[in-house]
Chains A and B, each alone.
Chain A
Amino acid sequence: NAGVTQTPKFQVLKTGQSMTLQCAQDMNHEYMSWYRQDPGMGLRLIHYSVGAGITDQGEVPNGYNVSRSTTEDFPLRLLSAAPSQTSVYFCASSLGRVAPLHFGNGTRLTVT
């Protein structure tokens, strides 16, 4: 069981470039979500999914897109990177509403 796997671990982008952060889980969890973590702030929800084909916006969705074509994968797309998107991004999955979140080890993104 690998749990939640995020790739890449590190990424540097120039302003305006696009990229996709990958997230995969092998626990058959229906719920998956993306968070960003900035210094001095709590984790903030970007987008989430309650099952394949179903996604919704979180607290800070602007500039990001998601899709969920399979239970296992939940990629996060940056459409046109901006310096304000410099952050550490975490993907998480869970069995349900009261179940614990299982986090990946993050992608550290720098936008110059």
Chain B
Amino acid sequence: KNQVEQSPQSLIILEGKNCTLQCNYTVSPFSNLRWYKQDTGRGPVSLTIMTFSENTKSNGRYTATLDADTKQSSLHITASQLSDSASYICVVSDRGSTLGRLYFGRGTQLTVWP
């Protein structure tokens, strides 16, 4: 069964600290893995998209890694800011259809305290 599991479910860190969010998936055949940030009351916003051949991608203070062999990804946030408080969603796409079926994780709720 194709699934995307994220950990931890929630995380609290102090402003300025780093953190790492995890995503494990069983989706096959794999096409790409995406990380989205969702602020409260808003729609998700894309942070990164990685295909099979990419193992690291950065977007400012956000760095995503992908290990397609172990089917694991992580999102590392450096020097956290209050505005990083949000839900971070891992999404994996398969290659089985025209649109590419997307499998959504339940998200990690990050809270950054001053």
A interface, CB within 8 angstroms of B = 4, 31, 33, 40-45, 48, 50, 90, 92, 97-106
Contacts and interface: CB of A to CB of B under 8 A. Distances in A.
Contact of A106 (B43, B103, B106): B43
Interface in B41-80: 41-46, 49, 51
B32 interface: yes
B30 interface: no
Contacts of B103: 42
Interface residues of B, number: 24
Given A90-B43, A98-B32, A103-B43, A42 B104 contact: yes
Interface string B72-114: 0000000000000000010001000011101111110000000
A98 B54 CA distance: 13
A100 B43 CA distance: 13
A112 to B, nearest CB: 21
A100 B34 contact: yes
Most buried by B among A45, A99, A100, A104: A100
Q: Is the interface of B mostly helix, strand, loop or mixed?
A: strand
Interface of B: 4, 31-32, 34, 36, 41-46, 49, 51, 89, 93, 98-100, 102-107
Contact of B31 (A4, A43, A98): A98
Contact of B99 (A31, A40, A102, A103): A31
A50 B32 CA distance: 19
Nearest to A6: B43
B39 to A, nearest CB: 10
B99 A48 contact: yes
Given A42-B105, A45-B102, A98 B45 contact: no
Contacts of B105: 42
Given A42-B104, A100-B49, A50 B42 contact: no
B98 A106 contact: no
Contact of A97 (B41, B89, B99): B99
